[in-house]
A and B are shown apart, each in its own frame.
Chain A
Amino acid sequence: MTPDANLLTSLYHLVAKGRVLESLLGKLPGFHPGVGEEGVVVGAFFGLKDSDYIAPHYRGALLAAHMRGADLRRLIAGVLGKVTSYSRGRVRGDICLPLQFNTLGMFSGVLGNPLNISTGIALAASLDEKQGVVVTSFGEGTSNLGAFHESLNLAACLALPIVYICQNNGYAMSTRTDYALKCTSIADRAQGYGMPGIRVEGNDVVAMHQAVQSAVARARAGEGPTLIDAVTYRISGHYSADPNDYQPKDERASWLKKDPLLLLKARLTAQGVMTDAQLAEIEKAAEAEITEAIAQAQADPDPGLEVLGPDDLYSPVLERVA
């Protein structure tokens, strides 16, 4: 299926924005940027219904939440722990996202929990019978956790409407995928759970989007879960201060040629959808918007001690207990 100009343009806006976001946030201390992985993020979460849920991998999480409608300035305020963030500074906003956008983040630093929890959201969706789906992503390192196995097996047993996307960027911190996973592709693991496993060039945002959308259609039709191995590359370090000097030079150089932003731009110009000048214009606008959002968030105040609690530890009892 050849994508139409509108789809390509929409995807480009998001990938370009993602690139600026990841690059600029990557300058903040302790941030885990996803430069080079924007194609996976955009392809995974574009084209869903508002009522669907997503649970994005922490790397690229802000872009995903923004795609769901969350405000950039408030998201960035969350990274900085500002009172203007969605949690008023109670949760680390680089990995935890506002659920009011049907977007689940990490309420702790424990990888794997979102796999379990998003599977439960899919269980609720299947009980609701409103054809809602869940799309969740995670790193290939995370796919070695028991939570991955238990979640995929449970989802397969109950035929849950969920799409599992492995954002396979070649590294878990410094640990290479070929060291820690002894299957050719994470998609191979799907066979063990009796679900389709699909390997996709994650840096081809169009291919990514199409693969996810057919898995979503399958889930919506009640046919159960799919596992997608979205192959990409971590151009950034693991986090801001990581010198990232352990990636072999030739490997890195070959992946830089497959940068998702470059691939998409080439496609847009080759198909005559946009000129170089138009592309540059969009990038400039994204840069201006995000620079402004960061500046505003930085200027926002820290939370006052009224945010501390502790009297609101519990959600009030729903129904009056007689």
Chain B
Amino acid sequence: MSQLTFQEAVIQGISEEMERDERIFHLGQDIGPIYNGAMHSAKGLGAKFGPRRIIQTPISESAMVGAGIGAALAGRRPIVQLMFAEFLGLGLTPLACDAAAMWYKSDGKVSVPLVIRVLYGAGPHRGHSEDYQAWVASVPGIKVAMPSTPRDAKGLMKAALRDNNPVVFFEHMALYHGARQEVPEDDYVVPLGAAEIKSEGSDVTIVATALMAQQSLKAAEQLRGEGISAEVVDPRSIVPMDVETVRRSVAKTRRLVVVSESWKTGDPLSDLTASIAEELAGEAPLKIARVGLQNTPRPFAMPLVRAAMPNVQTITEAVRRITESN
């Protein structure tokens, strides 16, 4: 065990898998030993694996994603870093229209083991916070990981690199060089599609990923002082979504708050909410609240950024709103 930051944990996961599997290589801009990737997202990899496995590209996101797909078709297991999730749109046609469809459309003959890494999220970087997670999560055939802790980040990265499908891996910038956590050195993975109950409770279920999972844990702590027992469920991957774990929790609490750093419109967690309502509404009263990014483009000034997105206060308010009356 060692104490790692989120960024160190992701890189350790990549490094271990690259040592284990010769087929893995990493494409990206400025990921070599000179710059080590945006926000040090590839720190040490270039020095360790050299330019044949840590391959720097020009600014060509569409070709980078396409090249990752093509190399995957030819037997490699590429990682493509698009630097920021803001750039996902540039690579979306090859990823969403072609790669996502290949396994199904080829009738199970063509698979695309490809990991796309993106940084995102409101935090230390004064831009590039948009995640556009709905773009990738809404297309069947792409998996989407959104870890909230160093341990999950490493385990999910290892799972992504062993998966046979395109996986978009979101790395939150506010968590990136933040709190350290004990991260096992043995060969553990966190499967895609397995939620974790980060904090147990009986009155209300809060579902959130990444930074919002951390905020929800703080909110749960505060609510405990008020006598409200909140269960925080972190899906860890939004595709596949572990609806079952959430369903079990909500079946117990009958109250669901989903917290998203993304817009509520088209938010993948809204889909989850609909699935839960479909399954559980009607059995007994069910209360639901959604907390998300306000439906405007992301503002710039820090007070506006903070006010536009959920925080501990808006999460606790939402919880109180659906717990107070009964």
Query: Whole-angstrom distance between the alpha carbons of A146 and B63 in the complex?
Result: 9
> Do B67 and A113 touch (CB < 8 A)?
no
Residues of B within 8 A of A86 (CB): 106-107, 109
- Of chain A, the residue at the smallest CB distance from B143 is A314
User: Given that A117-B98, A120-B67, A120-B68 are known contacts, is A312 also in contact with B74, CB under 8 Å in the complex?
Assistant: no
Query: Whole-angstrom distance between the alpha carbons of A107 and B72 in the complex?
Result: 15
Interface-lining segment among A29-37, A123-131, A169-177, A218-226: A123-131
Near A by CB (< 8 A), chain B positions 46-65 give 52, 55, 57-58, 60-65
> Do A99 and B109 touch (CB < 8 A)?
yes
Produce 1/0 per residue, A289-321, CB < 8 A to B: 000000000000000000101101111111101
Residues of B within 8 A of A313 (CB): 103-104, 140-141
- Of chain B, the residue at the smallest CB distance from A85 is B107
User: Given that A88-B107, A314-B165 are known contacts, is A146 also in contact with B187, CB under 8 Å in the complex?
Assistant: no
CB distance from A149 to the nearest CB of B (A): 8
B97 within 8 A of A: yes
> Do B70 and A117 touch (CB < 8 A)?
yes
Query: Whole-angstrom distance between the alpha carbons of A116 and B112 in the complex?
Result: 14
> Do A154 and B57 touch (CB < 8 A)?
yes
> Do A124 and B74 touch (CB < 8 A)?
yes
CB distance from B192 to the nearest CB of A (A): 8
CB distance from B29 to the nearest CB of A (A): 11
B32 within 8 A of A: no
Interface-lining segment among B6-14, B156-164, B215-223, B250-258: B156-164
Which of A110, A120, A315 is in CB contact (< 8 Å) with B108?
A: A315
Query: Whole-angstrom distance between the alpha carbons of A86 and B106 in the complex?
Result: 8
Residues of A within 8 A of B110 (CB): 99
User: Given that A87-B106, A90-B105 are known contacts, is A321 also in contact with B159, CB under 8 Å in the complex?
Assistant: yes
Query: Whole-angstrom distance between the alpha carbons of A104 and B25 in the complex?
Result: 22
> Do A318 and B113 touch (CB < 8 A)?
yes
Query: Whole-angstrom distance between the alpha carbons of A123 and B25 in the complex?
Result: 11
Residues of B within 8 A of A96 (CB): 105
User: Given that A146-B62, A309-B104, A313-B140 are known contacts, is A318 also in contact with B164, CB under 8 Å in the complex?
Assistant: yes
Total chain B interface residues with beta-carbon distance under 8 A = 53
> Do A119 and B189 touch (CB < 8 A)?
no
Query: Whole-angstrom distance between the alpha carbons of A309 and B113 in the complex?
Result: 21
User: Given that A88-B107, A90-B107 are known contacts, is A116 also in contact with B55, CB under 8 Å in the complex?
Assistant: no
Which of B61, B159, B165 is in CB contact (< 8 Å) with A315?
A: B165
Query: Whole-angstrom distance between the alpha carbons of A106 and B69 in the complex?
Result: 13
Residues of A within 8 A of B104 (CB): 90, 309, 312-313
CB distance from B53 to the nearest CB of A (A): 8
Residues of A within 8 A of B113 (CB): 315, 318
Residues of A within 8 A of B105 (CB): 87, 90-91, 96, 107
> Do B70 and A116 touch (CB < 8 A)?
yes
> Do A120 and B70 touch (CB < 8 A)?
yes
CB distance from B92 to the nearest CB of A (A): 10
- Of chain A, the residue at the smallest CB distance from B155 is A321
User: Given that A115-B66, A120-B73, A316-B164 are known contacts, is A108 also in contact with B107, CB under 8 Å in the complex?
Assistant: no
Which of B52, B61, B74, B106 is in CB contact (< 8 Å) with A91?
A: B106
User: Given that A90-B105, A99-B106 are known contacts, is A119 also in contact with B164, CB under 8 Å in the complex?
Assistant: no
Residues of B within 8 A of A117 (CB): 66-67, 69-70, 73, 94, 98
> Do A108 and B62 touch (CB < 8 A)?
no
> Do A107 and B102 touch (CB < 8 A)?
yes
Near B by CB (< 8 A), chain A positions 149-191 give 150-151, 153-154, 157-158
> Do B66 and A151 touch (CB < 8 A)?
yes
Query: Whole-angstrom distance between the alpha carbons of A98 and B73 in the complex?
Result: 12
Produce 1/0 per residue, A115-146, CB < 8 A to B: 11111111111011000000000000000001
Query: Whole-angstrom distance between the alpha carbons of A164 and B188 in the complex?
Result: 43
Query: Whole-angstrom distance between the alpha carbons of A115 and B71 in the complex?
Result: 13
Produce 1/0 per residue, B177-190, CB < 8 A to A: 00000000001110
> Do A322 and B187 touch (CB < 8 A)?
yes
Residues of A within 8 A of B123 (CB): none
Residues of A within 8 A of B111 (CB): 315
A217 within 8 A of B: no
B101 within 8 A of A: yes
Residues of A within 8 A of B107 (CB): 86-88, 90-91, 307
> Do A121 and B187 touch (CB < 8 A)?
no
A233 within 8 A of B: no
Produce 1/0 per residue, B108-142, CB < 8 A to A: 11111100000000000000000000000000110
> Do A157 and B57 touch (CB < 8 A)?
yes
> Do B74 and A321 touch (CB < 8 A)?
no
CB distance from A92 to the nearest CB of B (A): 9
A147 within 8 A of B: yes
Pick the 4 closest A-B CB pairs, nearest first: A116-B66, A120-B70, A150-B63, A120-B67
Q: List 13 A-B contacts (CB under 8 A).
A: A99-B73, A107-B106, A116-B67, A120-B71, A120-B72, A124-B73, A150-B58, A153-B63, A312-B104, A313-B104, A313-B140, A314-B164, A318-B113
B: residues with CB less than 8 A from A are: 25, 52, 55, 57-58, 60-76, 78, 93-94, 97-99, 101-113, 140-141, 143, 159, 162-165, 187-189, 191
New A-B pairs, 6, CB < 8 Å, besides A123-B70, A318-B164: A107-B98, A113-B93, A117-B67, A120-B70, A128-B74, A153-B58
